[in-house]
Structures are given as structure tokens and as C-alpha cells.
Chains A and B, each alone.
Chain A
Amino acid sequence: MKKVSEVKEFSYIGKRIERVDALPKVTGEAKYFGDIKLPDMLVGKILTSPHAHAKIISIDTSKAEKLPGVRMVVTSKDMPKTPLDFAQAQFNRRVDLFALASDKVRFVGEEVAAVAADSADIAEEALSLIDVKYEVLEAVFDPEEAMKPGAPGLYDGVGNNTPIYMPHEYGDVEKGFGEADYIFEDEFRTQLQYHAPMERQGCVCSWDVQGNLTMWTSNQTPHLHQWLLATILGIPVAKTRIISPYVGGGFGAKAHQVFPFHAICAVLAKKTGKPVKIELSRGEEFSFATTSPPFIVKLKTGVRKDGKITARQIRIIEDCGAHLYIAAGQLLVSIYFPFCHLYKVPNVKYEGYIVYTNNPNRAVALRGFGNPQVTFPLESQMDIIAEKLGMDPVELKLKNLFEPGETSMLGWKFESYGLPDCIKKAAEATNWSAKRAEKIPNRGIGMACLIHSSGYKGVWGSIETSSAIIIAKEDGSFNLYTDFSELGTGVWTVVQEIAAEILGARLEDINVLAGDTAFTPFDLGSYASRGTYSIGNAVKLAALDMRQQLFEVAATMLEAGVDDLEAKGGAIYLKKAPEKKSSIAEVAYHAHFGLGKVLISKGIWNSPAGLLDFFTGVWPSPGPVTSYPFGCQVAEVEVDPRTGKVEVLSMTAAHDVGFPINLDAVEGQIEGGVVMGLGYALTENLRHEDGRVLCDDFVDYFIRRAPDIPEIKPIVVTTDDPYGPFGAKGLGEAVMVPTAPAIANAIYNAIGVRIKELPITSDKILKALKEKR
């Protein structure tokens, strides 16, 4: 098969293609779950705990039940007994998440009771009539305090509030540190970043008389959600329908997790026999507090005079709040990806602690999934090391990379390895060497790199699966069925392009039908940057199968062999005599009405990545991922030393995407990801005190507005990954991973202060400048 970048004549792949979902969105026709209105629909509202840690003594719902317009009031006794995190039980070795609290509350905002009423006003009033008696307990908010003996315990049987402790060593770090000329030890801290999708969370539930449940919601993983919800409710999966085509931003907040409000809404709808809508207000979204879990990272690195890293050791404390959610996966990703594999280090040792606290954050996935939390320390420290050694950071980085095609100690192999290229291109585009030599006062330039994943075998059991179905209609138009919701990444257009390219059809002939479990096949959905890679591969397989079916029919019509045929622009023709052709429409018509064929094809993609051997800590090649995206970002900043304000002048982002299927979408992800990364670096912090979230609107929680964006230069690096569809790899998370350390390094280059705690706000800079003097 030809190398993708050698094919000069793609019809759609690699071009700027208009999104298939853009028209419904610019006209306001696209419906999100909050736009759904059903007859007799009730409003559901949830009563949450005002205390960070308390015993529930009693709950009296009688007054609420009597309020006119209230249709149902529920507490934990009405909820399913199956824990909401049952699917993580094997990995976490415990369960801790239920729909409504029964004996204890462990954070401000924990769900305690719920009502369904005729209107929002009545539901709110009903909440105020529910009488909950609490016995307040001592709470703990500092994870390092929570780990100490004698700290208030959140759960019986979980010593030191530490449900998960993961230590491991590869090689011999003692020996490695012994070989080093310099040892660096630094501590870094990251904050709670909130996803802040524009569309708030919630759902609409409706049961029919036959016991079929339909849930409209905003969800990144419809099939996983379907299976989880059905299992929790104790109903057949086939009688559960999740409808979530348009998602107004996910970023991980809406992936593979049934939240309490989902289960509560389903139960309220069942008990009242009416549709129920629960929609978190923006204030409730902030206190609901889906965030990236904050990390405390102690990083120790040994380096030789010549710049070669000899050993690395890391200690991570991850505060998961009161429930584990998916904290463990993030801990492991942060260790295996940046810590073990951004650079080649012969001896590494890690210790990871996940700690319960009474903080309000829910440790769900957030773009990067632990990678930003450790890339920040790692790339900041590389800068510190480079300065000590008198080396340019670029030289230090290039010196410690893997060789292309090399297999790491852990069994990972990078078949496509664009990292050196990304570093060189980013340095060139920013005039790196000249700017570093320049030393303009208060201006600086800084660089940081990344490694990430395209899907990840091991996040969800032992599978990495996507599937697609294509049906050719009698007139040569196609229906393409995929589970994938459109979060805004552009995946619907990517699959449309891939199908059209392989089938030789026109783009407009491919009709993407997606995000509804009733008529789409099983898929893990959208997370771990697996979209283009996984569903792209599944669609590729389905399209190849369909192409074969069409060619077999066309071959009889054109009196040729299948191998003599080619397809392009909606027609199938003889390679050697292109004027001998039939349109796909004619072929499809003949198939149906001439031959009695029905044209259905399927594509099932199971990533050939490997599974971790928990005993040895090693993977079979190529590792948990076949196709690793890489990248390098360079920030240019100007710092005002009087105010501590950082102005980002430009961000240059070079990303190895394998091959860009839709150039506009790739640039869009880079631009959006960099801006979100700027927030992580400089302004975003879901502040909380004594367990209470202090932000409740976008004034307190500052995300960038149009006048605040710097110049952003995306550089697309292609490496023709052998596993990705048309050579493509993931991108959605990679774009946000190195932004914060690039900025931190640029700030140091500008004014000589190194901030090791995110976000890098002006008060921290001023304090550091003061200490410097």
C-alpha cells in the first residue's frame, strides 16, 4: 500500500473540508438535550449536602411530598443498590459511588435527596422542605494531612485515607543516581481545572409502557453509558436507549461515567410515569465540580555533565476528593506517558498515592488525563537542568529522546515518531536560538514537549474497540452509522471523508447517523484521543467491505473483474478504460432491483495494542497504544514586573498527527487546545475553601475571551503512522499537554523566576520577584 503522504491525489483526505454538522449549528437547528421538550415533562432537582463531612441521622421528606405540584421525592432507599462505579471495581479494588447518600456525606455537594415536580420553582421549594438532620464530623481538605495517622477517615477500612498506592521500579535508580554528576529535586503542584464546557450537564428520561428507557443527554460515550445505566438500573441493555448526537463540549467531563443525576432522573421518571428533565444550572455545574484531580509531584532527576539523564524518581499525591472515579487511570497515564516515555531514561522509580479528602472535586477525566499534571513538572525541570548544564533546552531534549523504532524498557515502540521533527520545526518557526540569545528585558521564550495516546488499551477493561455500519441505499446514497457523538472535534466529518474517499463517492452522498444507541453499533466512544484513530479505522474497514460489494455488482455490469475497477467522484470505472463506467447510483439500483441484493457492510476495529502484564510491569510491543502522538509548543511572553501580569505574545504548536484527515479540524483542535492550556497555565483555578467551591460563574472562573488570545501558529507534522487510518493519530488531548510548562519556561526566561505551582497568577510572580531581591 502506498505511503499516505505519497498519494498526491486524494479527493478529501488531507484537505480543508466543511463540517457535516456545521449547518445545523449555524442555523440553530441542532438540538442538544436541553432543547428537548416532552409532553407532561417534570422538572427534577437534587438536594445536596451543605457539609463536607457528616453523618446522616435522618431524612424527613413528608412536608416536601405534600407540596402541591410535587410528584415524587426520593432518597437512597429508592435508588438502585448497584454502585455507579461498579465497572471500576476490579481496578480500584473497591466501590464508593452511589446515586444518593445513605449513612454519610463526604463532600459539599454530595447528592442526598431528589424531587420531581411540575415546575422548577415548585421543585426548588420542595427541596427546602426536605428536613435532613446531620451530625457534622471533622473534615480534612489537605491531602498530605489526610494521609497522616489520626486524620479524619472518610471510609471505614481505608487506612490513611489512601485507597490506592502504586509503587514500581524499572532498572535501578540508586545505581542511576550514583552515575549522575548532578541531582535535581523539585516539587510542583497543580490545581483544579474545571472543564467548563458551554453546554451544562443533565438529562431527560422517559420510560414507555413496555419498560423501554430513553435518555437524552450530553455524553461522549453513548454505548458505554447505555451499558452502565442498564446494569445499574437492572434492566436489559437492549431496552435502554441513549440519545446524544450533539454535545456542547465534553473534554472528558461527560465520558464513561453514570453520574448520580443520571440514575436519579431515571428513577424519578420511572416512579412518576412521566418524562423528567434534570439540568444543572451553571452555578450547580461549578459546585458539581468535575475537574482534573490536583497533583503534588516530587520529581528527582540524575543527569550526567554531557546531558544524558541517568535516573528519575517521582512521588505523586493525587487528591481524588471523596470518590475514586477514574483517578487511578490518570495516575498511571501520568507515570507511563510523560514520566517514563517522553524521554529515554534507563532507571525509573515511581510512587503514586491516591488520597481521599473532603474536597468537592470529582476526579473525572479532563483533557490529558493526568498527562498535563506531570508534563508540567517534567518539562519545567528539564529547563532547570538545561540552565545548570549550560545547555540549550533543545539540545538537552534531543539528547534524551528515543531512537525511531526503538522499544522502551516497558515494551513501548514508536512506529511513527515525530517528536524530533516537532522540536526542530517549532524552534525554527520561532527563531528560537536568536530569541534565546537576544535577552530583551521582561520578554522570554520557552519550550515544552509531549507524548500522548490515540486510544488506550486498558482504560476500559482489556479492549480498545470501535465499529461502524454502512448501508448503501437504492440510489447510491449511503447511511454511515457510528456511536460517536459530535463533541466538536469534527469526528463526523472525518468518518464522512474516509468513507467517501474509499468508496469513491461524493462527500454529500455519505449521510452520517450517529450518537443514538438504538441504531448504531457498539463502541467505547470518545475519550483518550481515540476518535479519528478508532472510529476512523472501523469506518475504513466498513468502507472497504462495502466497496468490495459494490465492485462485485459493478463487475457484472461492466463485464470486467473486480480488480480491474476503480471508483471516484460517484462513479465506478475500468482502470484501463475510464470511459467505461457506471455511477454508484446505477450500481446500487441494479444491486437492489436487479439482483435482489441488500448492501450492508460492517467494520470492527480492535486495536492491536498490548495489555499490561501487572506482574512484570511490562507491555508486549507496541505498548497500550499503537500510535503515539507527539508535539512541541513554544511560548513567547512578556511579563510586567510591577504587576506580575503575563502577556502571552505567541504560541507556536507543532503537532505530529500522523496525517491530517481534515486540515481545518486539526488546526481547530490545536488553536482551541492551546487556549485551554493557557487557562490551565495562567488563570483557571476552581478555588475552594473548607470544602466549598468559591466560583459559581465565569467571572470567578476565568476562561479566555477573544481579545485575550495570543497569536497562535499551528504546525502540522506528518509521520504516516502505519496503524492509523490514512496514517492519522490522535490529537484532541495532546494539544493541551505542554502549554503550561512552555509558558512557565518562557516566564523564567523573561524575568528569572520559576513558579512551580499552577496557575501562574500575578501574585505568585510578584511574591517570587520579591523573594529574589
Chain B
Amino acid sequence: MKIELDVNDRIYEVDVEPRETLTQVLRDKIGLTGTKRACDVGGCGSCTILLDGQAVYSCMVFAARAEGKKVTTIEGLAQNGKLHPIQEAFIKFGAVQCGYCTPGMILSAKALLDQNLDPTEEEVKDAIAGNLCRCTGYVKIVQAILAAAEMMKKR
């Protein structure tokens, strides 16, 4: 069935099957491979995208259900070549190692900071509790998100 998806402020017309997930359609049909698929069963967070600003596992969303909503993937964060403060902070604070959890992690952080620019360390950890990382031990990721909050407050 043909559906229209609003991804990163652009409308894509795609032919999907009812059982296809948003991860599948984003990666395999639209070609936005920034969203990762580390488990595909809602267990790791690497497929995290924003659906109307809320962080969700795209592998747990049927693509057809995303019609009429705003989908934000990692590719949609930088605006006109300018990085989002969270992206800048991840680079600056050494929060990226193998990079596979990074897109999902950044989007979970964005969902938090769009609501709350004064999170405690606990609140940051809770916001990314659904994003597994095997490399960093999360320490610099948390530092980067707190720093990004400061940067966003100033702007």
C-alpha cells in the first residue's frame, strides 16, 4: 500500500506492506541508513528515532502507523550543515567509540533536552536507559548530554 512519510521535513511516497516496520522502510526503502538495526526486536535502542518529538524504537513501529506524524532520524539533526549541539558535544567529549549506538543515543538525548534543559545526571541516565552501548561505559555520553544542555540553554 502506498503511504506518505514525513521524514526530516521531507515527504516520501513509499509502497509498504502492512507488517513492515519503520526501521525497514527508513533503511531499505528510503535509504536512510543512519538508523541502525542492532537487534530488530525492541531490545537495544539502536533504531531509536523521534516520532512527533518522542523517542521510540522504530523497529517496534509499523511504517504505516507513522503516516501523518513527523519522523526525525539522525540525518535530520544537522540544519544547513550546522551540527546540533548534542552532536557537537558528543564529538567534543569523546562520547563516540564504535558509533553503532550513537544515532539512537543522540535522538534519545534530544527527546529529553527538548523537554528539559536542566536534567540531573539521573534524568539523563534514565533518558538513555533504553540505548545499549557496549563500548563507552556511558560515562562520556552522559557528560556530553549534560554539556549539550548547557550549550542549548545559551542559544
Contacts and interface: CB of A to CB of B under 8 A. Distances in A.
Do the two chains belong together in a single complex?
Answer: yes
Interface of A: 16, 18-19, 21-32, 34-35, 37, 196-200, 246-251, 281-283, 486-490, 664-665, 667-668, 671-676, 697-699, 703-707, 709, 712
B99 A671 contact: no
B75 A28 contact: yes
26 contacts: A18-B91, A19-B91, A26-B74, A26-B83, A26-B87, A26-B90, A27-B34, A28-B34, A32-B100, A37-B28, A198-B44, A198-B100, A198-B135, A199-B38, A246-B98, A248-B99, A249-B135, A250-B98, A282-B38, A665-B94, A667-B139, A676-B134, A698-B44, A703-B134, A706-B126, A706-B128
B40 A282 contact: yes
Interface string B136-153: 111111100000000000
Contact of A671 (B40, B101, B139): B139
Given A28-B33, A28-B73, A707-B125, 20 more contacts: A18-B91, A26-B74, A27-B75, A198-B36, A198-B44, A198-B100, A281-B40, A488-B98, A664-B94, A668-B136, A668-B137, A671-B138, A671-B139, A672-B137, A676-B134, A704-B138, A705-B130, A706-B131, A707-B126, A709-B138
Given A30-B99, A490-B97, A709 B134 contact: no
B139 A18 contact: no
Most B Cβ at <10 Å: residue of A671, A674, A709, A712: A671
Question: What 8 A-B pairs have minimum CB-CB distances, sorted nearest first?
Answer: A28-B34, A488-B98, A25-B99, A664-B94, A248-B100, A488-B97, A671-B137, A675-B137
B27 to A, nearest CB: 8
Contacts of B106: 26
Contacts of A197: 98, 100, 134
B43 A697 contact: yes
B127 to A, nearest CB: 8
Contacts of B39: 282, 697-698
Contacts of A196: 134
B91 A26 contact: yes
A27 B78 contact: yes
B139 to A, nearest CB: 4
A486 B100 CA distance: 12
A712 B138 CA distance: 10
Contacts of B21: none
A705 B129 contact: yes
Given A197-B98, A248-B98, A488-B135, A706 B129 contact: yes
B103 A28 contact: yes
A30 B35 CA distance: 11
Nearest to B89: A26
Contacts of A664: 93-94, 140
Contacts of A247: 98
Given A676-B134, A705-B132, A712-B137, A28 B35 contact: yes
Most A Cβ at <10 Å: residue of B43, B46, B103, B135: B135
Contacts of A675: 137-138
Interface of B: 27-28, 31-41, 43-44, 46, 73-75, 77-78, 83, 87, 90-94, 96-103, 106, 122, 124-126, 128-142
Given A27-B78, A705-B132, A674 B98 contact: no
Nearest to B139: A671
A462 B78 CA distance: 49
A326 to B, nearest CB: 21
A354 B122 CA distance: 46
A702 to B, nearest CB: 10
A24 B136 CA distance: 17
Contacts of B137: 668, 671-676, 704, 709, 712
Contacts of B94: 16, 18-19, 664-665, 667-668
A535 to B, nearest CB: 17
B136 A672 contact: yes
A651 to B, nearest CB: 9
B2 to A, nearest CB: 20
A698 B132 contact: yes
A704 B135 CA distance: 11
B123 to A, nearest CB: 10
A27 B77 contact: yes
Given A27-B74, A27-B87, A282-B38, A487 B98 contact: yes
A492 to B, nearest CB: 12
A561 B33 CA distance: 53
Contacts of B134: 196-198, 249, 251, 672, 676, 703
Nearest to B41: A697
Contacts of A706: 124-126, 128-129, 131, 133, 138, 141-142
Contacts of A35: 27, 33
Contacts of A250: 98
Contacts of B33: 28, 31, 34-35
Contacts of B75: 27-28
B99 A488 contact: yes
A712 B142 CA distance: 13
A198 B129 contact: no
B12 to A, nearest CB: 16
Most B Cβ at <10 Å: residue of A25, A246, A249, A251: A25
B21 to A, nearest CB: 13
A282 B41 CA distance: 9
Nearest to B133: A198
Nearest to A279: B37
A452 to B, nearest CB: 18
A30 B46 CA distance: 14
Given A31-B33, A490-B97, A200 B38 contact: yes
A707 B137 CA distance: 11
A755 B125 CA distance: 30
Contacts of B99: 21-22, 24-26, 30, 246, 248, 488
A674 B78 CA distance: 33
Contacts of A283: 41
B57 to A, nearest CB: 12
Contacts of B91: 18-19, 22-23, 26
A26 B98 contact: no
A669 to B, nearest CB: 8
B14 to A, nearest CB: 15
Contacts of B140: 664, 667-668, 671
Contacts of A490: 97
A120 to B, nearest CB: 10
Nearest to B124: A706
Contacts of B133: 198, 706
Given A26-B90, A28-B74, A671-B140, A699 B83 contact: no
Most B Cβ at <10 Å: residue of A23, A246, A488: A488
B128 A21 contact: no
Nearest to B84: A26
Contacts of A489: 97
A488 B87 CA distance: 17
A200 B75 CA distance: 22
B139 A712 contact: yes
Most B Cβ at <10 Å: residue of A26, A34, A283: A26
A198 B46 contact: yes
B98 A703 contact: no
A21 B35 CA distance: 17
Contacts of A34: 33, 37
Given A28-B103, A198-B36, A709-B138, A698 B97 contact: no
B18 to A, nearest CB: 14
A682 to B, nearest CB: 14
A671 B135 CA distance: 9
B121 to A, nearest CB: 10
B36 A19 contact: no
Nearest to A247: B98
A672 B87 contact: no
A759 B102 CA distance: 29
Most A Cβ at <10 Å: residue of B73, B75, B139: B139
Nearest to A24: B99
Contacts of A249: 98, 100, 134-135
